Structures are given as structure tokens and as C-alpha cells.
Amino acid sequence: MNILAETDRLILREILSSDTSSMYEMYTDPLVLQYLGEKPFVHVQQAEEVIEFIRAQYIANGTGRLAVIKKDTNEFIGWAGLKYVTGSYNDHTNYYEVGYRFIQKYWGKGYATEAARASIDYGFSELMPDKIYAMADSGNKASRVVLEKVGMRYLEKFDLGGIDHDWFEISRTEWDQRRSEQHQ
Ligand SMILES: CC(C)(COP(=O)(O)OP(=O)(O)OC[C@H]1O[C@@H](n2cnc3c(N)ncnc32)[C@H](O)[C@@H]1OP(=O)(O)O)[C@@H](O)C(=O)NCCC(=O)NCCS
């Protein structure tokens, strides 16, 4: 098992084909997909395809979304991590984006915040970008709270397919400073 990051309660490891049923559970829930413009899955095969897609990104880009595992129970609770975005969003292309998605029963316990923080740490220490970015539907209040709690800086709104989205970023310098303040 390839563990990329670890927090007090969570392990972030590569997504595996053995995660298919948990991924399917997550992607069949309309509330999980509410702000993502995606339709709920109706076939397990769709979850298999997403896993293959993510695993191909590990090879092509050296990173991708990671399975988030609860240490005490060994359960798959969702995914989090950095995606290398090659499309164009808010006039940015070829950048690292932090993201997360959890099975609904695990919401509201601080897991997204913990996993996002670990993902950004991993990104700045292993992938060496100058900045890490994030975006969220402006109506997705929980996601905005998570991004602000981990220190991402809100920059502006932009239009994505007719829907207002919020754009966030953090530089390596800002992240290092934040970490050193937390350790003082
Ligand atoms: C967004 C998501 C990842 C958050 O996960 P989570 O583990 O519940 O997040 P956390 O518990 O770390 O933090 C959520 C914060 O948002 C707050 N929050 C939740 N719903 C909120 C709302 N409607 N309005 C304001 N704040 C809200 C919570 O109170 C919490 O803040 P707190 O710790 O200060 O109390 C989860 O809801 C999810 O998987 N949603 C579906 C996928 C998705 O939208 N992903 C993000 C795409 S940009």
C-alpha cells in the first residue's frame, strides 16, 4: 500500500481498484455531487473507470486524488489531494489544485480540513510548485470554510458554465510562514 501522507486520524494512499464499492457509494449520492455539476453514477463500472482515470494521472502527472482512510477503522471515507489540471479554469492552466470529496456520513467531523492540510503539505514538499490553487462553486459553503481554515486565500469570483465559482490560491511562502507560526 503506497501511503503518501498521514495525519492524526487519516492515511492518504493511492486509490486502488479495491476501493470501487466505496467510490460507487460516494458517486451515487446526489448531495455529494450537488455543487460539482456531475450526475450520480448508475453503474459500478463508472466507479471502476474513475479509479482507472485517477491511477493514470499518478503515472502521467506524478500525482492525483488519493484515497482517504480512517486509521481507527481502516475505512475508505473519500478522496482528497492534488490534481494536476491541464484544462483552463479562470485563465489558469497546468497547475496543482487541491480538492476533496467524502461519503456523506463522514461530513462535519473535520476530515476535509485535515486531509486538505496534509495534501497541501505534501504538494509543497514533494511537487515543488510555487502556488497551489482551489476552486469551489460559490454556493458550496462547507468547501469554502475548509479552504479558508487551511489558509487558502480567496482571490476572486469567476464564471464556470454559467455558475459563480470562488477561486483560491496559496503560495509556498505563505504556506511556510503559516506553518512556522503554527509551530511557534
Ligand atoms: C465539502 C466537504 C468535503 C466538507 O467535508 P467535511 O469533512 O464535512 O469538512 P470539515 O468537517 O473539515 O469542515 C467543514 C466546515 O464547513 C462548515 N459548514 C458545513 N456546511 C456549512 C454551511 N452550509 N454553511 C457554512 N458552513 C458550513 C462546518 O461547520 C465546518 O466548519 P467548522 O469546522 O468550523 O465547524 C464535504 O461536504 C463533501 O464531501 N461535499 C461533497 C463534495 C464537494 O463538494 N467537494 C468540494 C468541491 S469544491
Write down the domain spans for the chain.
3-182
Element containing residue 102 per DSSP (H, E): strand 95-102
Whose CA is closest to 145, among 104, 183, 100?
100
Question: Are 147 and 159 in contact, with CB atoms under 8 Å apart?
Answer: no
At 163-175, the pLDDT tens digits run 999 999 999 999 9
Domain covering 3-182: architecture: 3-Layer(aba) Sandwich (3.40)
Closest atom of ligand 1 to CA, residue 136: 48
Alpha-carbon span 78 to 76, nearest angstrom: 6
Closest-CA residue, ligand 1 atom 17, reads 142
For residue 182, pLDDT over 90 is answered with no
The response to whether residue 163 sits with its C-beta less than 6 Å from ligand 1 reads no
- Write down the pLDDT at residue 9: 98
At 114-124, the pLDDT tens digits run 999 999 999 99
Under the banding of pLDDT at 50, 70 and 90, the label for residue 52 is very high
Under the banding of pLDDT at 50, 70 and 90, the label for residue 2 is confident
40 Cα: distance to centroid of ligand 1 (angstroms): 20
In this predicted structure, which of 12-16, 116-120, 178-182 has the lowest mean pLDDT? 178-182
Assessment of whether the complete model's pTM goes beyond 0.95: yes
- Write down the pLDDT at residue 169: 98
- C-alpha pair distances (Å), 41 with each of 33, 48, 78: 10, 11, 15
Q: Which residues contact 164 (CB under 8 A, 6 or more apart)?
A: 137, 138, 139, 157, 158
For residue 181, pLDDT over 90 is answered with no
For residue 1, pLDDT over 70 is answered with no
